[in-house]
Amino acid sequence: MQVMAQAQAQGTLLINESMARYNSWRVGGKADRLYIPVSLDDLSFFLQSLDAGEPVHFVGLGSNLLVSDEGVRGTVVVMHNALNRLEMDGGMVYADAGVTCAKLARFTAKHAKQGGEFWAGIPGTVGGALCMNAGCHGGETWDSVYRVLTIDSKGVIHERHASEFLATYRHVEMPVENEWFVGAWFKLADGDAEMSEQKIKTLLAKRLATQPLNLPNAGSTFRNPEGDYAARLIEACGLKGHMIGGAQISEKHANFIVNLGDATANDIQQLISLMRNKVKEKFGISLQQEVRVLGNEMGGVK
């Protein structure tokens, strides 16, 4: 479907805006332009107004993102708090891309839908979860996706069925380039609200006990290799607590890198390279990065 054009953009456009405010590591340089839309119509109009070929990057909470110290060329669109519709729709749960995964988990539990409790352990938005097939504790986002809404670089909205996408472990293959998720319908089984809410409480307690939530971080740095855990491999290399600049491999969870207060993206990048190289050297295993990089190339980290 095509969204009706507006007379002018209604959101907030910022020039040379520091990206440190928009990612959970609290690092990174400036974006040439950063736009915060107020609605889907507004986002559509804004994209239509951009010059052809303008690089566009969508960001939710930035909880799985390493932003280069050199900044980001083009335009960053921040979705969190912009698109936040969350409702029941014909027995399915509909969520805009800007809704947090934690809020989605609570909503599904409240409406006695089971299978979405794991979202409570994902510190990101629905858009990010769709993009990377986020998951934990045995659940994955695309297990329950029925259909999605996307928007392309010309501001056109598309409704696509889940069968058009290839979802694998922490990766989703898009059917076309230059489209971004703006919403999704999730088909979940009927369950018991009280049981789901208790499951969420248990999951959050485990997360608090095992992850360094008191310091800026971006969650798991690497995907778990088949049959093993990245954290175990990294810890076995003696890297827990290792520091470079203001960044540290967490003493609580070896697959997490934390910002002790004054870390740079380059500090974090160096730790990522160290972790990967040491595990390869000791175990012959090539760890696959889960964290995504936004901005200029940084020492081979992608």
pLDDT for 120-153, tens place per residue?
999 999 999 999 999 988 899 999 999 999 999 9
Give the pLDDT of residue 262. Answer: 97
Query: Do the beta carbons of residue 286 and residue 278 sit within 8 Å?
Result: no
Return the SS3 of 5: coil
The three state secondary structure string of 69-130 is CCCEEEEEEECCCCCCCEEEECCEEEEECCCEHHHHHHHHHHCCEECCHHHHHCCCEHHHHH
Check: CATH 3.10.450.50 for 230-294? Answer: no
pLDDT of residue 81: 76
Judged against a pLDDT cut of 60, whether residue 71 lies above it is answered with yes
Domain boundaries, the chain: 12-78, 86-210, 230-294
> Which residue would you say has higher pLDDT here, 81 or 74?
74
pTM assigned to the model: 0.91
pLDDT of 302 > 90? The answer is no
pLDDT in tens, 101-126: 999 999 999 999 999 999 999 999 99
* Whether the predicted pLDDT of 60 surpasses 80: yes
Structure confidence at residue 45 as a pLDDT band (50, 70, 90): very high
| Whether the Cβ atoms of residue 65 and residue 292 lie closer than 8 Å to each other | yes
Q: What's residue 82's pLDDT?
A: 81
Mean pLDDT of 45-68: 95
pLDDT for the residue 3:
41
| CB atoms closer than 10 angstroms to residue 197 | 17
Instruction: Look at domain 86-210 and name its CATH class.
Output: alpha beta
The pLDDT tens digits for 219-272 are 999 999 999 999 999 999 999 999 999 999 999 999 999 999 999 999 999 999
> What mean pLDDT comes out for the span 5-23?
86
Give me the amino acid identity at 187: K
Work out the angle between the directed axes of helices 193-210 and 101-110 (0-180°, nearest 10). 150
Active site residues: 170, 220, 290
Domain 12-78 has CATH 3.30.43.10: yes
- What is the structure's pLDDT at 173? 95
Question: What pairing do the DSSP bridges indicate for beta strands 30-36 and 12-18?
Answer: antiparallel
What value does the mean pLDDT of the chain take? Answer: 94
| pLDDT digit string, tens, across residues 274-292 | 999 999 999 999 999 999 9
In three-state secondary structure terms, 226 is: coil
- Average pLDDT, integer, range 18-38: 97
pLDDT for residue 4: 43
Q: Report d(CA 206, CA 191) in Å as an integer.
A: 22
Query: Does this chain's domain 86-210 share its CATH topology with 230-294?
Result: no
Q: Is the pLDDT of residue 217 over 70?
A: yes
Q: How confident is the model at residue 299 (pLDDT cuts 50, 70, 90)?
A: very low
Burial class (CB in 10 A: 0-12, 13-18, 19+), 228: exposed
- Predicted local confidence at residue 7, as pLDDT: 54
For residue 279, give the 3-state DSSP assignment. helix
Residue 6: pLDDT over 90: no
Give residue 203's pLDDT: 94
Q: Tell me what pLDDT residue 138 has.
A: 87
DSSP secondary structure letter of residue 50? S
